[in-house]
Amino acid sequence: MFRPRLVTILVASGAKGGVGKSTIAASLAALFDVKVAVLDLGIDGNTTVAAYHKACVDDTRGILDYLLLGLDFEIVESKVSRNVGIVPAGRVSGIRASILSIPNKSLVKTRYEKALLRLRREGYEIVLIDTPSNVELLSTTYVTILYYSDIICLVTEPTLSAIETLHKWWSNFSKVLSKGSQILNIVVNKYIEKLHNNVNSLRKYVQDGILSKIPFDAAVLVLSTNAELPIMYTEPAKFNKALTSLFKIIEEQTMKYIGVQQLRL
Ligand SMILES: Nc1ncnc2c1ncn2[C@@H]1O[C@H](COP(=O)(O)OP(=O)(O)OP(=O)(O)O)[C@@H](O)[C@H]1O
Ligand SMILES: [Mg+2]
């Protein structure tokens, strides 16, 4: 099947919640010039990508409705960035998704391929996926999404417990990653240089990518309580500077997929 340029970027973490996946995913999406579709699967989080982008997704049919039930999904425009469209998890999410996603892996796979093709037809060049920390909620769907990701940003906090859950994630899912054509970046968020000198061990997971450290910045916390997207403001300066550098690297990484991935689907 023909797939014109379309790069899929997955933002994931270990089982530790609240490491900053949704904040990072929402900010990266806003920084691209090209059209970005965000699959907003951060279904167990407080602040989701949709909330940051002021997209009202209540009662909207989403990607899980399509993958699990075959119902068409909707794309809701961001009110913050003109280039961003949000595809919510949908009405079938959370616990119901884990029950429903037990059947037929290959059907989920075929539907996911079709969903990507539809997004490409509608002009999206990047598909950015935010995942929940509790991946049980997505069950087999998670493995499919992981398999089709060109670039993976594995986000962690620098705490020992968060790093531990990242190691566990690796032992559970590295088999899915073994096809070797993916880029894997490690993003250490909420980093405080004086406190955390234990993160270099994570370099071993990097594949063709980088280990990025994003500083702890209290202004991010303040903005997120009102679901304001940090990257749209001059403060938090520390967070925005690091996030913009990470974005530039990811943008370069996406260039690798021009023309290369056309036959992948
Ligand atoms: N670099 C940072 N400095 C300070 N606070 C941050 C930073 N990054 C994220 N946060 C804050 O951490 C909290 C959790 O962030 P976020 O919701 O993005 O995490 P998550 O990984 O998506 O969580 P969940 O697993 O619940 O979906 C938010 O209040 C956010 O503002
Ligand atoms: Mg989240």
Q: Report d(CA 60, CA 156) in Å as an integer.
A: 30
Query: Hey, which of 155, 193, 221, 228 would you mutate to test ligand 1's pocket, going by the most ligand atoms within 8 Å of its Cβ?
Result: 221
What confidence tier does 2 reach under pLDDT thresholds 50, 70, 90?
A: very low
pLDDT at 263: 43
Structural domains of the chain ordered from first start: 7-263 (3.40.50.300)
Least confident range of 18-27, 105-114, 175-184, 242-251: 175-184
What is the rounded average pLDDT of the residues 56-60?
92
Task: Please work out whether the CB of residue 224 comes within 6 Å of at least one atom of ligand 1.
Answer: yes
Higher pLDDT, 222 or 195: 222
> Does the Cβ of 92 fall within 6 Å of ligand 1?
no
* Atom nearest to 17 CA in ligand 1: 25
Task: Looking at the CA of residue 23, tell me the nearest atom of ligand 1.
Answer: 18
- Choose the residue to mutate in 27, 46, 47 for probing ligand 1, maximizing ligand atoms within 8 Å of C-beta: 47
Res 68: pLDDT: 86
pLDDT given for residue 265 in this prediction: 46
